[in-house]
Structure 1
């Protein structure tokens, strides 16, 4: 089956929906998701959405906090776009009927989160912000101009004779392949959280979009920068969901089993320090075999304030009356991804990326809390508006490429890979560990996986191949950056190295793979 469209959007989170909605003003849009519209990281988001709205706040302060959290590695223009357009993005949501939590006097309730200098976090139904924004956007979708296709996984981007992207191949749950041609294609597939054993992410978020783009020739940047959320519910040596940063924003503190506060003397902001510092501190205790808890005893009406967290804890058997929640850090957000310009254009013509799958440089080396839902709204609106007004283009014929059939049975099962990534490319990294991981991954023939013929392969097999590719991108990038900055911590290079790395980015392209497999280290200078 082959279908033609003006714009294809792949994904189901806030960036995907906002892009599709804006583009549909003048284009027919097909939105494709491998799960459902209500199955995404955006839907799971608890913390809230940031915007400088109070008299005590301002976009300059929001910008300052974002740059500080990003360890001065952010693209300043992207940050300015994010914070300056944030108030208008919230106002647009309110005009369309979105309900945020309010104070008794009717004013918007603004919360505090880690690394923010002012109260600027909006919530909906306490800790259900992502869910309720997504429900609102789903309700606003204009089905007459947006065709929604659920439970169909994108498996390969199609490249035309002129080198541009002309669509995508998909496989549904029955194993049937479909081909979609489009004038423009957008990846909004999220990050790669579920490739790690400990994660807050939806299990469908496995880096497929990054792997597809990389195989199609798009440049990928900053894959070493992964944010590990400090507080995931931790029971029986497994994570069971996110415990929102807003809990610490309301006064909760991290303590040992004996009640000793662990952030005392670590950072001036203590429990509201930047996420990578809190995550590394908790991890150091966990490594020593000590349990860490979030002391919530000082928060009044906790169940009313945090209904999602409370439900999660009670379902997992945590007694909230005891006033403690067992926590551990896990993969939460990817700051890197497919390199794009300020409009979402990748290095492949007519291929765009938006949201967590894209690397605009807005988050730098570490995302500021509650900037991710905002990113989806602001950059999704900009990209959608651009696509809506681009002139029609004639779709060229498909470029014929030689593909190889790989024996996927030799690839590891995902739990094995998840454990390897968590141990060797997780919160604390070393050259020895990263080299061990890289050698392990390269034994599965990265070059062959890049040329793999998806025809006849199952979604499970393709997911395995993509997982190996994305894991290799992370390992190669983390090995190349010989410093610690933001979400990338090397215990063998524990300090920032501004002289070498402040303006340098690890940028990978499939054309570089042969050189990198031979041990060459490449990086490019990028103006912040």
Structure 2
């Protein structure tokens, strides 16, 4: 079935929903279709705990926020992009407040500004420790009132339809019926988030399989700086606690990292100790675990804050840990680093424009130059709302000049229903394990070459499977996951230095300042 829409948005997190809301307002005569492969709530935005960074009080200023961001980015940030995004923060946050987001206030009635690693001032607006969840809910309430917006949940994008560096829409699987739609649009916008499920341990939900990055790569877009995958230092270590992030705000309020014998160790690695940038804290924990042979370290807030403070400021962390018999008002929290955020992505302008005409990419899927070699904490939600706003304004201006062009329907060929689902499970597990062991927090040339050999072999298997069997979501995700894994590996091999998140024991020093770019070989 050929479906036409003026604008096709793929992804329902903070970027996709903000874009839909703004674009519907600016282009009321255009139809907008937003699709997401799960429920709207099931995305990284919903699970974001910490907050959104913005200069907000008199002791802070934009220059401080800019310099903190540039410092974290370790030489690879685009300063013009940094300035443009950060200076829009107060205005974009006021728009969130207008739709009902109630950021936490302190006893004086002012916003309770948090402080996180790499920040020189308190500037993190938050809703206790459930910021993303509250933002997502208010955005969903807001977009559900829009007349010229249609939302389809459980619709999974399979691939973009692009020719000669021009995008015409996408092939999309309706998971409930198994039907594949070819959706034609004036412009297609990818807001699909990151690829955390590429690693064995991650803070991301299961849907984070790099779909947008992989589809854009196949369409001819340039992918940049994918070797810079950020690992969050503190993910709850428990056999039944799946992907639960322990917010950095705990360390901002005085929580201390200790080994299981109770020794504090961050002073051995950085003068800022627990508030050092994430890459440094993650490597410090990794180093301690390798030295001690332990499976985790402890994060201790109980020794430094009262039970009432902990329960009021971190209700989500408190309640979740309690489910696993960990009372954080009394006991330290067992934590390990986990894959958290993709600092690279599809090379794009702030407004999402890519070199593929009519294809836009915003949010975590994009590489705009804001994050450089390492993202500053709580800058990601900010980038999502700013880039969505810029994208909406740009598309509204161009709308009258854009045309919809239909393209051929999906041809299944001789594909048959799969009888070998175990292959998908096995390949997925194998990729996640060798990516964690070979392309993780600490890398070596030998590990990276081993990873390259493994992914090349697996890609051959997966591509054969893709064409032999009927399309289903798990197969689409596995193909995308493997594609992005290959891009990360090749990018990491090409960077013969250590910078930001990318740390290679064989190249421990910095060398040339450059961006890594990967394009599909035609």
- Which of the five TM-score ranges fits, normalised by the shorter chain? over 0.9
Q: Secondary structure at the match of 1:510?
A: coil
User: What residue in structure 2 maps to residue 221 of structure 1?
Assistant: 224
CA distance in 1, matches of 2:222, 2:413: 22
Structure 2 CA distance for partners of 1:29 and 1:442, relative to 1, 3 Å? same
The whole-number CA distance in structure 2 between the counterparts of 1:90 and 1:448 is 43
Conserved? CA contact 1:159–1:398, under 8 Å: no
Give, in whole Å, the separation in 2 of the partners of 1:240 and 1:40. Answer: 12
Aligned position for 1:127: 129
The reply to whether residue 4 of structure 1 matches residue 4 of structure 2 is: yes
Q: 1:309 aligns with which of 305, 314, 317?
A: 317
Partner of 2:69: 66
Gaps of 5+ in 1: 513-528
- Is residue 215–residue 450 contact of structure 1 (8 Å, CA) maintained in 2? no
5 Å matches for 1:91-490? Answer: 91-124=94-127, 126-141=128-143, 142-160=145-163, 163-174=165-176, 175-236=178-239, 240-288=243-291, 289-290=293-294, 291-297=296-302, 298-300=304-306, 301=308, 302-392=310-400, 393-398=402-407, 412-445=426-459, 449=463, 456-490=470-504
How far apart are residue 398 of structure 1 and its match? 3.4
Q: Partners in 2 of 1:451 and 1:68 — Cα distance? A: 45
Q: 1:403 Cα deviation (Å)?
A: 10
- The Cα offsets for residues 463-487 of structure 1, whole Å up to 9 and x where unpaired, read as 2221111110011001110111111
Partner of 1:525: none
Change (3 A) 1:404 1:3: closer
CA–CA separation in structure 2 for the residues paired with 1:78 and 1:330: 28
Does the 8 Å CA contact 2:184/2:406 hold for their aligned counterparts?
Answer: no
Match of 2:517 in 1: 507
Check if 1:496 corresponds to 2:505. no
Q: Is the 2:186–2:403 contact (alpha carbons within 8 Å) kept by the matching residues of 1?
A: yes
Query: What are structure 2's unaligned runs of at least 5 residues?
Result: none
84-93 vs 35-44, greater mean Cα deviation: 84-93
- Tell me how many residue pairs correspond in the alignment: 506
In structure 1, how many angstroms separate the alpha carbons of the residues matched to 2:320 and 2:463? 39
Distance in 2 (alpha carbons) for counterparts of 1:406 and 1:360: 38
Q: RMSD of aligned C-alpha atoms?
A: 2.3
2:91 is matched with which residue: 78, 88, 91? 88
Native 8 Å contact 1:50 1:86 kept in 2? yes
